[in-house]
Amino acid sequence: MSTQNRATTVKVNQKQALQLVTNLMRIPGKSGEEGKIAAEIVERLQKAGLPRKLISFDTANKKSPIGGESGNLIVKLPGTRKGPRRALMAHMDTVPLCVGAEPVKRGNLIHSKSSQTALGADDRSGCSVILNALLTILTENLSHPPLTFCWMVQEEIGLVGVKHLATSKLGKPKMCFNWDGKLVDQVCIGATGDSGMLIRIEGVASHAGAHPERGVSAAVIAGKAIEDLSENGWHGLVIKGRNTGSSNIGVLSGGAATNVVMPELTIKAEARSHNPRFRQKILDEFKKAFQRSVKSVKNSDGQRGTVSFESHLKYESFRLSENEPVVQTAKHAIEKIGGLPELSIGNGGLDANWMVAHGFPTVTLGCGQQDIHTTEETLMIDEYLKACQIGLLLATATESD
């Protein structure tokens, strides 16, 4: 039987695929500490016969604000036949709540044995989908087009790894498939953009008992600004005509003692929208609200506080056309295993946001993870195994045969 035909008919070894994901979920690897999981993936690939020269790491961790043990892990595989290069990707890091997880199977789900830890299906299930595809290609000698496999770092802290991805190492893939979701029928073709805000308020300190009137409270300035934003519809769900978005004040820190009028306060917030211009409008309204507030608060001597406002892009929004080859290819793979593909747009950030920004059309697919970032997290075994089959179809370019 030719390698082409074998690629068309090969089925995922379900027992091995389950053992793989279970083993990967056991390995600790929160953001910045992906060294052990990266080493495990490399070891498995080399045992399967992949030449070490095809494995590389970039230096994304050196560009990260937290540093980190590892850069993005990249495998660039020549094709056994011609065709446009495809990339398969997932992220290696988990949220800290997953550290110490011990996966156990209960019926059709995999849980964390301890009620104190999350599982790490996000995104060790995705890592396993693409690793299983590559291991199967290597061990079964399957025909395939040029392929690139990427295991990203530091996704959970703001898509840091993919933001600093060494794109020159990828080989110019024409289609990219990212596994990081729940249901395999869902094809995410777009996602919102997110901008962060850092607001620093400087008040005037004064003894809160002896001379409270001499103080300018940073807390009061913040409170009035937040009330302004809330009452005028710029905080929380933001709907203005046809434009929609959201904003959130997530962190407030300041002050040192209850007997001192608060002299300083730092606020971290965010604004999201699929429309970059409207997201900028939300940022502008935040800035104006704090500027108005700081002018309205003064002490007995007529002194006012000050406010500084900074914003930065976390990731840009994107939306692919339904007619994009990567979208159609993903749909064909889902249909081939008997699924009914549904296109979706996400309101959270994905590694796909930065991949598209880098110039690589990318869809995100499900791999069975649910209740992520909580101690209730589980892996849906049936969905995960379907994802493995889809991953193998896409890696061998047999999704529409």
| Annotated binding-site residue numbers for Zn(2+) | 122, 156, 180
Nearest to 398 by CA among 343, 341, 332, 327: 332
Question: What's phi and psi for 56, nearest 5 deg?
Answer: -145, 165
Residues 6+ apart with CB under 8 A from 333: 390, 393, 394, 399, 400
- Binding residues are 122, 156, 180
Q: Which two tokens stand for residue 41?
A: 């993936």
The CA-to-CA distance between both ends of the chain, in Å, stands at 16
How far apart, in whole angstroms, are the C-alpha atoms of residue 10 and residue 325? 24
Could you say which of 155, 202, 377, 399 is catalytic?
Answer: 155
Cβ-contact 395, 141 below 8 angstroms: no
3-state secondary structure the chain: CCHHHHHHHCCCCHHHHHHHHHHHHHCCCECCCCHHHHHHHHHHHHHCCCCHHHEEECCHHHHCCCCCCCCCEEEEECCCCCCCCEEEEEECCECHHHCCCCEEEECCEEEECCCCCCCCHHHHHHHHHHHHHHHHHHHHCCCCCCEEEEEECCCCCCCHHHHCCCHHHCCCCCEEEEECCCCCCEEEEEECEEEEEEEEEECECCECCCCHHHCECHHHHHHHHHHHHHHCCCCEEEEECCEEEEEEEEEEEECCCCCECCCEEEEEEEEEECCHHHHHHHHHHHHHHHHHHHHHCECCCCCECEEEEEEEEEECCEECCCCCHHHHHHHHHHHHCCCCCEEEEECCCCHHHHHHHCCCCEEEECCCEECCCCCCCEEEHHHHHHHHHHHHHHHHCCCCC
Whether residue 40 lies in the annotated active site: no
Catalytic residues: 155
